[in-house]
Structure 1
Amino acid sequence: MKRIFLLLSVVSTLVFTSCNNDDDIIDTDTISEVFEVPNVNFIADGDFTVTIPLEPQIFTSDVVLVYRLSGTDPLGDDIWEQIPTTYFLDEGTLDYFTDFSRNSVSIYLDAEFDPLLRQDFSLNQVFRIVIVPGFFSNSVDVSDYDAVMNALNTSGNGVQVIETR
């Protein structure tokens, strides 16, 4: 009887330890969102600031990354540059910087000169806003737009477009 009990114990141990469901894990807490905001104009009346509402609100642990469309590569693909960034121009320095809350993202344009003198930086700008779960942002190079999109398993092609007022 002891041998049968021992045999059953060994067999059941093997059966229960050899089964796992690692391939069936569904990630339900990595919720990211990417949206594009075209036709952004920085004007003096708005103190060269644009505020984009986040609807719905994001979680307090989420991180918001902002990228500016800075041009296209030789193949015609968009080049996204992370904000904050500084440009050293003939007129002086020009900076984009940003902040965010659970409710909105603000993008600021600051320059040593009147930013409207460089309409290629102040008018008709396009931004991509990427909402990333907080724990995830520690494991990826957030300064590389393509690395962020690849890590989130999205190409960025299914981007939601938000029209600005």
Structure 2
Amino acid sequence: MKKIFLLLTTVIGTLAFTSCTNNDDRVDNDTISEVFEVDNVNFTATGNFRVTVPLNPSIYSSDVILLYRLSGSTSNGKDIWEPVPTSYTFNAGTANEENLKYFFDFSQDDITIYLEADFDPLTRQDFSLNQVFRVAIVPGYFSQTVNTNDFDAVMSAISAQNGSDVQIEKR
């Protein structure tokens, strides 16, 4: 009888321990993405043609920042958002060719947006002053599942993930 009890206890213990798993490779699918807009961004020489946007609260170390610049509007008034980094060439193919580029980096606490040009960017105020950017904070896995170059695709995917339309806060 003791042998049967010992065998039964061993089988039950083995089943209990093997049914527990440690799934460290799981994907975090419940993080809610956030989108906000930063307007009236001015790149000036006193700021070294860079602007820092604080993230409050800080983001998770696994989150990714997607950044878009308002580049114009369609004939029916819809905004056109271009992904950053992006670059422009003015006077292409001439002796006066000029290049301008936006790029950014981010940490858990802030985003720094840079404007770099091989000429004085303030001569092109349509690119250096009163700029508008949209920031999308998304989980790391998200940026691998959607075309991040297409702002509308990103917004649709965020809406689907959140289960509702995305509310864009102005900062």
TM-score, scaled relative to structure 2: 0.76
CA distance in 2, matches of 1:148, 1:62: 15
Separation (CA, whole Å) in 2 of partners of 1:61 and 1:50: 23
Instruction: Give the distance between the partners of 1:37 and 1:100, measured in 2 at CA.
Output: 15
Match of 2:98 in 1: 92
SS of 2:76's equivalent? coil
Question: Distance in 1 between the 2:57 and 2:128 partners?
Answer: 28
- SS state of the match for residue 152, structure 1? helix
Q: Distance in 1 between matches of 2:142 and 2:68?
A: 18
* DSSP 3-state at the match of 2:67: strand
* Matched residue SS, 2:46: helix
In the TM superposition, residue 135 of structure 1 has moved relative to its aligned partner by 1.2
| Aligned length in residues | 135
Look up the SS of the partner of 1:57 in the other structure. Answer: coil
Question: AA paired with 2:168?
Answer: V
Q: In the aligned structure 1, how far is the partner of 2:140 from the partner of 2:31?
A: 9
Deviation of 1:155 (Å): 5.1
Gaps of 5+ in 1: 1-26
Q: Secondary structure at the match of 2:122?
A: helix
Alignment of 1:8-157 (within 5 A): 29-90=30-91, 92-153=98-159, 156=166
1:72-119 per-position Cα deviation (integer Å, ceiling 9, x unaligned):
001100000000001001350000000000000010000000000000
Q: Which residue of 2 aligns with 1:4?
A: none
Which one-letter code corresponds to 1:29 in the other structure? D
State the secondary structure of the residue aligned to 1:141: coil
Question: Over the residues paired in the alignment, what is the CA RMSD in angstroms?
Answer: 1.5
Q: Secondary structure at the match of 1:132?
A: strand
Flag structure 2 segments of 5+ consecutive residues without an equivalent: 1-27, 92-96
- The one-letter code matched in structure 2 to 1:71 is G
Give the 3-state SS of the residue equivalent to 1:110 in structure 2: strand
Cα distance between partner residues in 2 of 1:127 and 1:155: 19
Q: Percent identity?
A: 59
Per-residue CA deviation, residues 26-83 of structure 1 (Å, 9 max, x unaligned), is: x972311100000000000000000000000000000001100000001100000000
Q: What is the rounded CA distance, in whole Å, between the counterparts of 1:137 and 1:81 in structure 2?
A: 16
Structure 1 runs, 4 residues or longer, greater than 3 Å off: none
